Amino acid sequence: MKKPNIVFIMADQMTAYALSAYGNKVTKTPNLDRLAAEGTVFENAYCPYPLCAPSRFALMAGRLPSRIGAYDNAAEFPAAVPTFAHYLRDAGYYTCLSGKMHFVGPDQHHGFEDRLTTEIYPADFSWTPLTYDEVDDPEEPTTHVKTQGVSSVETVADASAVARSLQIDYDDEVARRAVQQIYDWRRYGDGRPLFMTVSFTQPHDPYVSTPEFWDLYKDEDIDAPRVAKIPLEQMDPHSRGLFFHYGLDKFNVTEDVYRRARHGYYAMISYIDKRVGEIRAALEATGMAKDTILMFTSDHGDMVGERGLWFKKNLFNPALSVPLLYFDPRKQGLNRVKAPVSLVDVLPTLVDIATGSEDAIVTPFEGSSLLPLMCEDEPERVVLAEHLDGGTKAPRVMVRKGDYKLVYSKAYPPQLYNLADDPGERLNLAENPDYRAVFEELKRILSKTWDLGHLRDEVVASQRTRQFLLRALQKGKVMDWETYPNAIREHTKFVRRGEYFPEVEQRSYLRLPDSD
């Protein structure tokens, strides 16, 4: 049986709650709505870590971030860790990446044969965070400390329409390269099926967009937060620490500022939606759409003002919940799946698609294929997540089973929520005796997964080592690990010396699908 092409599309920092497929009534996303209607919507999809690089490494490896040393945004992704790109390449696919993966370290491909763009963020150790011992005590915080790689309230305050931004420049290139690669592979490919990852940087803050997308919304139409702003003195200890970590003490995020920032966030999502439509249009124009599986997700969510918090680095659902849409034009599964799932399930799912089972996976993995869930739902399924980097005094972990979710750390009080009755996570049941059995069951799962004391030591040792390496590598001749694609691939070259131009022109024709 012919293997399908696979196009895996990612956004950055897009919470599931911002899409109409997940109940949002404001955002305008016709292309994602179409994808959701035609395919499968995973209603309870989680990232394994609410931060860019660790979540992406876990996504590609099918492993919890701590299992591969992905402790923060400056942790090296080891070249010896197999990724879904390696597995699909081994299964006979051509593998390429257009856009962001936030790889850290000298290996900037991790199984992809071609990278069509450079990275948007540094590939070295410069974003290594403070160790736990260097973080302010969240019970007695001082003020925000400007740190490389850490969002700040300025990116909320700046929300507005703009002519251009760094992220728009980057994502325009990501989309352009991806669309061109679809046409080029159809014309000049070597016969292998295509596996292409297209990874955008929006709607990551700052919340700015061009008038084309900004003008789709009005401030007065922006929805209120599901959970209203919680006064600082009533926040849980970790949330209080994050309040200062992100500099929210420096600027009063009024109701008007909140609406303007979420306005910008929605505008950026509409930008991504348009690019998804362009990718699908290219697949349809080339005749590849009928044989191409599409997946859409994000690396993590964004609080976007929920509870008075912004960005990520916490284990509340707006930061953990990601969209996960799956469409196979060759067959239809369940339209909506309630089972809790994780981005670590993506690798075994892709291997299952490419090989027919998970047997090809050569290292331990925490996820499992999503394909069976599209035939038979499993609402009591277990998912896990971690938060280990700057902004916390110790590792924080999460386990969800069915409707119940436990957040646990040695530095903070435990938090237990019944998501069926309390989707906004307002009522902490950890001390409620009626829920003692649930608490203990989830804690047993947690204890089998993590040794939190040992994990703390591992994180600190890694960060101290990388702080030293960064200092040493900045002395003398400085070498970087950034990667840049070839300007023009060999198979797309234009007319050159000694060539008969009509023949070159003819080689570049891509006939309409119905004329092949």
pLDDT at 506: 74
Q: Quote the strand ranges of 26-152, DSSP E.
A: 40-46, 94-99, 114-115
pLDDT at 192: 97
Walking along the chain (516 residues) 10 residues at a time, the average pLDDT comes out as 95 98 97 98 98 97 98 96 98 97 96 95 91 66 60 88 94 96 93 98 95 97 96 95 90 94 98 98 97 98 97 97 97 94 98 97 96 96 95 95 97 97 98 98 98 97 96 93 72 66 73 70
d(CA 56, CA 60): 6
* CATH code where residue 492 lies: 3.40.720.10
User: Which structural domain, as residue segments, surrounds residue 474?
Assistant: 5-320+338-515
pLDDT at 498: 76
Spatial CB neighbours of 415, under 8 Å, sequence gap ≥ 6: 236, 315, 406, 407, 408, 425, 428, 430
Please give the C-alpha separations between residue 425 and each of 394, 409, 419, in angstroms, as whole numbers.
22, 17, 7
Length of the chain: 516
Query: What interhelical angle do 255-285 and 30-38 show, nearest 10?
Result: 60
With respect to residue 325, please indicate whether it lies within any of the assigned structural domains.
Answer: no
Q: Is 47 annotated in the active site?
A: no
387, 135 contact by CB (below 8 A): no
pLDDT at 376: 95
Distance between the two ends of the chain, CA-based, in angstroms?
21
**75: nearest Cα among 472, 471, 464:** 464
pLDDT at 433: 98
d(CA 338, CA 272): 25
**Identity of the residue numbered 254:** T
Spatial CB neighbours of 397, under 8 Å, sequence gap ≥ 6: 384, 385, 386, 387, 407, 408, 409, 446, 449, 450, 452
With respect to residue 302, please indicate whether it lies within any of the assigned structural domains.
Answer: yes
Catalytic residue among 47, 96, 102, 245: 102
With respect to residue 327, please indicate whether it lies within any of the assigned structural domains.
Answer: no
Q: Is 387 annotated in the active site?
A: no
pLDDT at 504: 73
pLDDT at 131: 87
Catalytic residue among 47, 52, 110, 387: 52
264, 209 contact by CB (below 8 A): yes
400, 425 contact by CB (below 8 A): no
Cis peptide before 203 (omega within 30 of 0): yes
Which tokens belong to 272?
């991504």
d(CA 75, CA 77): 6
How many domains are contained in the chain?
1
With respect to residue 332, please indicate whether it lies within any of the assigned structural domains.
Answer: no
